[in-house]
Amino acid sequence: MSLSGGMTAINQLAIAHGSQKESVDSFRYSEGITRNKEQRIIGVDLRDRQVNLSVVQELKALEHLQKINLAGNALSAGMFEILGAIDSLESLDLRGCRLDGADLSHLRSLKKLKSIRLSGKKTPLRLGDNDLAQLAAIKSLRALFVDFLPVRDAGIASFSKHPNMRELGLAGTQITDSALSYLASIPNLKKLRVANTTVTGRGLQALEVHPEIQDIDLSGCQNLEQKSLASIGKISKLKKLNLYDTNISDDGVQQLKAAVKLKWLNLDKTPITDESLKVVAKMQRLEFLHLGSTQITDAGLGELEDLKALKNLVATQTFVTDQGVKKLKNAIPTVKIKSGPKGE
One domain for residues 156 and 104: no
Give residue 343's pLDDT. Answer: 60
The domain tally of the chain equals 2
Q: Is 130 exposed, middle or buried (0-12, 13-18, 19+ CB in 10 A)?
A: exposed
The pLDDT, as a whole number, for residue 19 is: 43
Amino acid letter, residue 246:
T
127 vs 129: CA distance, rounded Å: 7
Measured CA to CA, the distance from residue 169 to residue 156 in angstroms comes to 11
Predicted confidence (pLDDT) per residue in 131-178, tens digit: 988 999 999 999 999 999 999 999 999 999 999 999 999 999 999 999
pLDDT of 32 over the 50 cut: yes
Residue 314 lies in a domain: no
Which pLDDT belongs to residue 1? 43
Confidence of residue 9 (pLDDT cuts 50, 70, 90): very low
Of 279, 322, 280, residue with least CA distance to 297:
322
187 touches 212 (CB < 8 A): yes
pLDDT value for 291: 99
**How far is the C-alpha of 57 from the C-alpha of 300, rounded, in Å?**
60
Whole-number Å distance between alpha carbons of 155 and 152? 6
- Neighbouring residues of 245: CB distance < 8 A, sequence distance ≥ 6: 219, 220, 268, 269, 270
Q: pLDDT category, 123, cuts 50, 70, 90? A: confident
Q: What is the pLDDT of residue 125?
A: 84
Q: Is 122 found in the same domain as 46? A: yes
Overall size of the chain counted in residues: 344
Q: Are residues 63 and 156 in the same domain?
A: no
Give the pLDDT confidence score for residue 25 in this predicted structure: 86
The confidence score (pLDDT) of residue 262 equals 98
- Please give the pLDDT value at position 71: 96
- The residues, ordered by sequence, that sit 6+ positions from 95 with a Cβ below 8 Å of its Cβ are 71, 72, 117, 118, 119, 121, 122, 145
Contact yes or no for 145/169 (Cβ under 8 A): yes
Coil, strand or helix at 64: coil
| Overall pTM surpassing 0.85 (yes/no) | yes
- The residue among 337 and 130 whose pLDDT is bigger is 337
Last residue in a domain, options 204, 239, 262: 262
Distance of CA 315 to the CA centre of its chain: 25
Provide the pLDDT for residue 23. 53
Contacts (Cβ under 8 Å, ≥6 apart) of 39 = 23, 24, 25
**117, 35: one domain:** yes
80 in a domain, yes or no?
yes
Instruction: Tell me, yes or no, whether 118 and 212 share the same domain.
Output: no
pLDDT in tens, 48-81: 999 999 999 999 999 999 999 999 999 999 999 9
Query: Where among 104, 124, 143 does a domain terminate?
Result: 143
The reply to whether 36 and 78 lie within a common domain is yes
- pLDDT tens-digit map of 269-297: 999 999 999 999 999 999 999 999 999 99
| 161 and 243 both lie in a single domain | yes
Task: Give the E-state strand segments of the chain in sequence order.
Answer: 33-35, 41-45, 67-69, 91-93, 115-119, 143-147, 167-169, 191-193, 215-217, 240-242, 264-266, 288-290, 312-318, 336-341
Residue 226, phi then psi, degrees to nearest 5 = -55, -45
Last residue of a domain, one of 114, 143, 172: 143
Q: Considering the domain boundaries, does residue 102 fall inside one?
A: yes
Helix (H) or strand (E) holding 326: helix 322-331
Asked whether residue 232 is assigned to any structural domain, the reply reads: yes
Per-residue pLDDT band for 321 (boundaries 50, 70, 90) equals: very high
Q: Looking at the domain assignment, is residue 67 inside a domain?
A: yes
Q: Helices (H), strands (E): how many in the chain?
A: 11, 14
Are 299 and 277 spatial neighbours (Cβ–Cβ below 8 Å)? no
Residues 183-204: tens digit of each pLDDT: 999 999 999 999 999 999 999 9
Do the domain assignments include residue 84? yes
- Domain CATH code at residue 79: 3.80.10.10
Cβ(194)–Cβ(170) under 8 Å? yes
Q: Which domain holds residue 228?
A: 152-262
Kindly state whether residue 331 falls inside one of the protein's structural domains. no
